[in-house]
Amino acid sequence: MDDIIMLPGSGGSGPKHWQTLWQEKNEGINRFTPNSWDQVELADWIRALDRAVEATARPPVLVAHSLSCLLVSYWAARTNHTVAGAFLVAVPDPQSAAYQAEDASLAGFTNPPIAPLPFPALILASDNDPFGSMEYANMRSQQWHAPMINVGSVGHINSASNLGAWPQGWALLTAFRAGIAHH
């Protein structure tokens, strides 16, 4: 199995989040570990992602949720490390009212790079995500050169969405990994 690095958003992914459930069922999945999931600091999160990528035997697939989707864009603009690809779930709009109300420590993430990502990426978006509209996800899809899939009306695609192990998401990740293996 390829190395997979799980990148939860702010607060980390709790025990009922699909990221945690996937990690529990698959030995090849590791989680990046910033100093704090709650006091979010961009530089710390970038260093934590660097450490996680350095610890892999081969270029990993990044599986990012929410704030970590923005992290991937910042990291990609600064790193010399190589990854196989990025699976970006529920890209938040840092200018949205819901995002702005969430946490002042997220301010370091408010102006993500618009440059195309230097590796294959796929965006998964929900058409009723309170933290990011379909229009925003589509804009990021175009800027980052990452195709986008609408996974339906499942909110922020998190624990509150009651997706359990989210089999649809796992199937999409499996297809994405198979597609980038041929690059």
Closest by CA to 62, choosing from 146, 129, 137, is 146
- Packing angle of the helix pair 42-54, 67-78 (nearest 10 deg): 70
Q: How far apart, in whole angstroms, are the C-alpha atoms of residue 106 and residue 93?
A: 11
Give the model's pLDDT for residue 112. Answer: 93
- Which tokens sit at 160? 């509150």
Number of domains in the chain: 1
Give the model's pLDDT for residue 109. Answer: 87
Give the model's pLDDT for residue 87. Answer: 98
Give the model's pLDDT for residue 95. Answer: 86
Give the model's pLDDT for residue 1. Answer: 46
Within 10 angstroms of residue 53's Cβ, the number of other Cβ atoms is: 19
Q: How far apart, in whole angstroms, are the C-alpha atoms of residue 85 and residue 99?
A: 26
Q: Which residue has the tokens 């050169």?
A: 145
- Which tokens sit at 90? 């529920």
The three-state (H, E, C) secondary structure of 20-67, written as one string: HHHHHHCCCEEECCCCCCCCCCHHHHHHHHHHHHHCCCCCCEEEEECH
Give the model's pLDDT for residue 105. Answer: 64
Beta bridge partner(s), residue 64: 7, 88
Q: How far apart, in whole angstroms, are the C-alpha atoms of residue 121 and residue 104?
A: 28
Average pLDDT along the chain, 183 residues, taken 10 residues at a time: 86 93 92 92 96 95 96 96 96 84 73 95 96 96 98 93 94 95 69
Q: Which domain holds residue 63?
A: 4-180
What CATH number has the domain bearing residue 64? 3.40.50.1820
Q: How far apart, in whole angstroms, are the C-alpha atoms of residue 79 and residue 161?
A: 33
